[in-house]
Amino acid sequence: MSWLFIGLLVAGAYGFKAFGSVVLIGRMLPAPLDRCLALLPAALLPALIVVGTFSSGRHLTIDARAAGVGVAAIAAWKRVPFPVVIVVGSAVTALVRALA
Amino acid sequence: MPEASPRPPHPVTASITLGLAVGVFGVSFGVLATASGLSIAKTCALSLLVFTGASQFTAVSVHASGGSSASALASALLLAARNGAYGLAMSRRMRGGVPRRLLAAHLTLDESTAMASAQPDDRDAEKAFWITGLAVFVFWNLGTLVGALVGDHIGDPTRYGLDAAFPVGFVALLMPQLRAQPSRVAALGGAAIALVLIPLTPVGVPVLAAGVAALAGLFVPRGAR
C-alpha cells in the first residue's frame, strides 16, 4: 500500500465527512426537507443494526450475534444501563458462539 | 409508550464502553495491517487520518488478497460514504462556524452520530457527539498502535462477542428515538431496505441506501415531530 493510496483514501474519506458537515451551513431548508434530515439517524441506525447482526459480507446469516442483539434489545427496553447492555449483548454472543 | 421507552444513556460512560470495544478492534486492525506487510507508520497513519474502521479493514484486506488499488479504494470509499449522510444529519444540530465543523467532520462516525441522535436536546446532542468522537478516536488509535507494536495478545475480538457490541449499542441508542411515529416509519423502512440489499449490492450500499427511508419526513402531518 503506497503513501499515494493512503493519501487518496484519506482525501476521499474526509471529503465525504467534510462535505456533509459544511454544505448546509447558513442555509434555511424547507421544513419538509429539514424533517427528513432529522429522521436520517432513525433510518440509518436500523440499517447498521441489520448489517451488523445479520450479514457476513454479502450473505444474510443468523448466528450468535442475533441472540446477543436480541437479549440486549430486551435489556435496553427494560432500562438496563448502557454499559451493562453492551456487556450482556457481547457475553451472550460469545456464549452462544462457544456452545454452537 | 413513552413510559416504557428508555432514556438516552449518559454520554461519558456510554462512550467509554463503546470506546473499549473500538479499542479491541483497533488492536485487531494494527495486527492485521502489519501482518499484511504495512509499516507501523502507514498502519497508524490510516487510523489517525482515515479514521473509519470499516474502510480501513476493507482497504487492508483487499490489498492483502492481491486486489488492485483501484478496487481497494472503491470498496473502502463506498463504506466511507455514509459518513457524509451523518455529517448532513449532525450539521443541523451543531453550532459554530466552518473551522469548528471541519474539525467535527473528522469525528463523524457511526458511534458519534448514533450517540448524538439519541439525545433529544441539541446541546446534549452536540456534547455527546464530541465526547464519543474523541473517545473513539483515542481508543481506536491507541488500539492500532498497540496491535502494530506488540502484535496479537488479545486474540480475535469475535471470541468475546465484541462484533455484536456495535449492533447492540446501536439498538440501545435507537430505542429512545422511536417515540414518534415518523421515526418508527423511517426505522422500519431503513431496516427493510438494508435487509433486502445485503445479498444484492456491494458492502456499504445497504446502509447508505437505507437513508432513503428518511423521506418518511415528507409525509408527516404538520405539527407532528
Per CB-CB distance under 8 Å, the chain B contacts of A40 are 85-86, 88-89, 211, 214
Q: Name the pairing type of β-strands A55-56 and A59-60.
A: antiparallel
DSSP category for residue B154: S
CB atoms within 10 A of CB B216: 23
Q: Is B109 helix (H, G, I), strand (E, B) or coil?
A: coil
Q: How far is it, in rounded angstroms, from Cα B101 to Cα A25? A: 9
In a 13 Å sphere around the CA of B153, the CA atoms on its Cβ side amount to 8
> Which residue in B83, B31, B16 sits closest to B54, CA to CA?
B83
Report the residue of chain A nearest B197, measured CA to CA: A58
Question: Is this complex's ipTM strictly greater than 0.90?
Answer: yes
Closest Cα of chain B to A30: distance in Å? 11
Contact between residue B29 and residue B53 where contact means Cβ atoms under 8 Å apart: yes
Least confident of B4-8, B23-27, B109-113, B134-138: B4-8
Does the pLDDT of residue B6 top 90, yes or no?
A: no
Contact between residue B162 and residue B25 where contact means Cβ atoms under 8 Å apart: yes
Q: Is B40 helix (H, G, I), strand (E, B) or coil?
A: helix
Q: What angle do CA A56, B87, A4 make, to 5 degrees?
A: 70
Report the residue of chain A nearest B52, measured CA to CA: A13
C-alpha cell at A73: 434489545
Report the residue of chain A nearest B74, measured CA to CA: A9
Q: Which residues contact B164 (CB under 8 A, 6 or more apart)?
A: A52, A53, A64, A65, A68, A69, A72, A89, A90, A92, A93
Q: Do A58 and B202 touch (CB under 8 A)?
A: yes
Q: How far is it, in rounded angstroms, from Cα B217 to Cα B10? A: 28
C-alpha dihedral (B126, B132, B138, B144), degrees to nearest 10: -130
For B71-124, how does the pLDDT look when each residue is reduced to its tens digit (9 = 90+)? 999 999 999 999 999 999 999 999 989 999 999 999 999 999 999 999 999 999
Does the pLDDT of residue B2 top 50, yes or no?
A: no
Per CB-CB distance under 8 Å, the chain A contacts of B175 are 73, 76-77
Q: How far is it, in rounded angstroms, from Cα B131 to Cα A62? A: 33
Least confident of A51-60, B124-133, B147-156, B195-204: B147-156
For A23-33, how does the pLDDT look when each residue is reduced to its tens digit (9 = 90+)? 998 888 899 99
What confidence category does residue B1 fall into, taking pLDDT thresholds of 50, 70 and 90?
very low
Does the pLDDT of residue B7 top 90, yes or no?
A: no
Q: Indicate whether this model's pTM tops 0.95.
A: no
C-alpha cell at B130: 464530541
Q: pLDDT value at position B9?
A: 87
Measure CA B195 to chain center. 18
Q: Which residues contact A91 (CB under 8 A, 6 or more apart)?
A: A68, B161
Per CB-CB distance under 8 Å, the chain A contacts of B69 are 1-2, 5
Q: What angle do CA B107, B117, B186 make, to 5 degrees?
A: 120
Q: Which residues contact B139 (CB under 8 A, 6 or more apart)?
A: B19, B20, B22, B23, B26
| Average pLDDT in chain B | 91
